[in-house]
């Protein structure tokens, strides 16, 4: 991809590729984006207790990626695999979850100059540590922190880049230097304003920001502030399972 293309041009090129490969009629009728399709498949499979829809979506995403290896297609295949890995983990399919998240990491690793890809890479690396030996865990965990920090430097306004820094810091024990950055970066993540989905992708992550804010303030015995953020989060995302589970 021409490096002189700005981000908005990149998004539109990616969306055009998606429409071309999936078909304009079907996409328009469903009002679908890659992110919306992945999220819908995740919810359907979690409810049904299987992986059928995510498997189908990822097969389609892989076909698109094989037809055109660019940043847009690589990112959304990675995001699809990451969500599939999370679902497999919930369903106690540990070997499958590890395989899927390792594929996610492999796809994202070359995208070293893209903040959104680095943020997703950081989350995938953090998720993968539960399957690794102690030595591998330490190395991967360190890489997750570095990739989150680099994402935040590349795009200080990205909700997902700031979330990645906060998430790593929140779950890093104080003995290893954790607990110093979470609130700062969560508040920065909250500053991002959502715009039209056709102009800005991806959009995921804000419910996780609310979740971490609630957990942060509860952990620090500031329950009234935690309740305020939970109420605000549920008003914005009333059906979100993460936030519903905090009630």
Tokens standing for 157? Answer: 């306004």
Residue 32, pLDDT > 90, answer: no
Rounded to two decimals, what is the model's pTM?
0.85
Q: What is the pLDDT of residue 116?
A: 97
Q: Is 26 inside any structural domain?
A: yes
Tokens standing for 7? Answer: 């981000």
**Among 55, 88, 110, residue at a domain's last position:** 110
Segment 107-150, tens digit of pLDDT: 999 999 999 999 999 999 999 999 999 999 999 999 999 999 99
Q: What is the pLDDT of residue 176?
A: 83
Q: Is 77 inside any structural domain?
A: yes
Q: Is 154 inside any structural domain?
A: no
Question: Count of CB atoms within 10 A of residue 124's CB?
Answer: 28
**Among 110, 142, 170, residue at a domain's last position:** 110
Give dist(CA 141, CA 40) in Å, integer.
Answer: 30
Segment 145-194, tens digit of pLDDT: 999 999 999 999 999 999 999 999 999 988 888 889 999 999 999 997 65
| Number of separate domains in the chain | 2
Q: Is 173 inside any structural domain?
A: no
**Among 82, 110, 138, residue at a domain's last position:** 110
C-alpha dihedral, 135 to 140 to 143 to 148, nearest 10°: -140
Give dist(CA 180, CA 174) in Å, integer.
Answer: 8
Q: Roughly what angle, to the nearest 10 degrees, separates helices 94-108 and 115-128? A: 150
Instruction: Name the residue range of residue 22's domain.
Output: 1-110
Segment 39-65, tens digit of pLDDT: 999 999 999 999 999 999 999 999 999
């Amino acid at each position: 991809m021409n490096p002189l293309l700005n981000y908005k041009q990149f998004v539109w090129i990616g969306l055009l590729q998606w429409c071309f490969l999936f078909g304009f009629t079907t996409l328009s009728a469903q009002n679908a984006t890659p992110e919306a399709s992945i999220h819908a498949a995740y919810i359907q499979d979690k409810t049904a207790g299987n992986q059928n829809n995510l498997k189908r979506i990822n097969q389609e995403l892989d076909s698109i990626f094989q037809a055109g290896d660019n940043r847009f297609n690589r990112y959304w295949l990675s995001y699809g695999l990451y969500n599939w890995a999370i679902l497999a983990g919930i369903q106690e399919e540990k070997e499958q979850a590890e395989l899927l998240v390792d594929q996610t990491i492999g796809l994202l690793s070359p995208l070293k100059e893209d903040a959104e890809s680095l943020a997703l890479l950081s989350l995938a690396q953090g998720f993968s540590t539960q399957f690794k030996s102690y030595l591998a865990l330490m190395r991967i965990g360190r890489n997750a922190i570095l990739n989150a920090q680099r994402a935040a430097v590349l795009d200080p306004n990205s909700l997902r880049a700031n979330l990645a820094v906060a998430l790593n810091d929140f779950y890093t024990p104080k003995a290893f230097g954790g607990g110093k950055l979470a609130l700062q970066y969560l508040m920065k993540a909250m500053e991002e304003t959502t715009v039209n989905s056709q102009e800005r992708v991806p959009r995921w992550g804000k419910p996780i920001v609310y979740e971490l804010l609630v957990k942060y303030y509860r952990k620090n015995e500031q329950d009234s502030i935690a309740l305020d953020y939970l109420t605000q989060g549920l008003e914005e995302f009333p059906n979100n399972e993460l936030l519903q589970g905090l009630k």
